[in-house]
Amino acid sequence: MAEIFDALPGQEVPVKSISRSLAAMWASTAASGGAAPSADDAKATQVNFVLHLGFNTTAEDAAEQFQTVVRFSKRYPSRIVVLCPLKNDEGVTDLRAKIYGECHLGKSKADKRCVEFVMLSYPKSARQFLENQVSISLSTDLPLYYWAHRFSESGKLADYRFLLGRARRVLIDSAIAPVDATTFPWPNPSSLRDLVYSRLLPVRQTIGQFIAGYAPAAIVTGLSVVKIGHTDALKAEGCVTREWLRRRLAACGADLNAVKFTTGPATAGDLSVQFEYTDAAKYFRWSGDLKTKHAQFEADFGGGPSVLTAAVSLLSPEAALSEAMFF
């Protein structure tokens, strides 16, 4: 993971002088005419955010997630701590630190959205000092959000209880997380949010709005099979859509013991949903093509056929972050 730390942008500084180095960085930026927080709003961040890059992260992937957080900060000024654990740390005993900052100007010079990054590279032997250093690097009066990205084992991540227990939200991505990530007994399971579920928001909205136009009884009476189709790249999205539909149909009064839920290869589009009924005249079909951003509805819940086209997409990575964190 040393290559990840080295590949991330920023200026390496002594760990013991992170705060002074950040102040000097902004002073230098302002002196050269760049956008920087003024003295009275230097701490006007809205959230603390910890991005924990697991052992399965590559340098290219780390750089991509770094830019995702930068784009997120354009809306939510943030203090970001990026944790880069060393996988092969033989002979390494010390923490290393980098700092980085950006300010984005809005419609006026007074409208500045600033982000500060502290990157920490650490070997296993220095793990005991990490909690103190992370605490020092964050703003004490702001809520903490924790994104665990590409971690290799849930049990190893569970060792970071000082983050898991303190965080208002713990973010994972079930498409790339260990298979037990959503069921693991985390210290505060109610804080867990899946980025797959978040980026599916436009899909959930468009299907939900269409179905909401019908009486619940018409939707669930005689329902026997719910099929979710997906491409290989959207397997996690297919599984999350299945579980979402299971919950929503139960809320409509469906007897889940009488309904079979399946996932498999999509026969139309990138993601699809199909309801089958004991009455063959009833049906519901939805398919979405994420390349063209078009979706197709076909349905008959007993009152006559209906066909509708709609837009469909997944949320951008930065929008999925905000959805998972705040909603």
Q: In sequence order, what DSSP letters do the residues of 158-202 get, joined into one string?
A: TT-HHHHTT-SEEEE-TTTS-TTTTTS--SSGGGEEEHHHHHTHH
pLDDT of 120 reads 97
Does the structure show a pLDDT above 50 at 42? no
Does the structure show a pLDDT above 50 at 49? yes
Question: Percent of the chain, pLDDT > 70?
Answer: 97
Q: Is 115 helix (H, G, I), strand (E, B) or coil?
A: strand
Q: Is the pTM of this model over 0.75?
A: yes
**Rounded CA gap, 194 and 173, in Å?**
5
**Rounded CA gap, 164 and 154, in Å?**
12
Does the structure show a pLDDT above 80 at 196? yes
pLDDT of 43 reads 43
pLDDT of 114 reads 86
- Which tens digit of pLDDT belongs to each residue from 75-113? 998 999 999 999 888 788 899 999 999 988 777 766 778
Q: Label the pairing between strands 11-13 and 96-105.
A: antiparallel
Does the structure show a pLDDT above 90 at 256? yes
CA distances from 22 to 18, 27, 78, 116 (A): 6, 9, 14, 8
- Determine the angle formed by the axes of helices 201-211 and 235-251, rounding to 10 degrees: 30
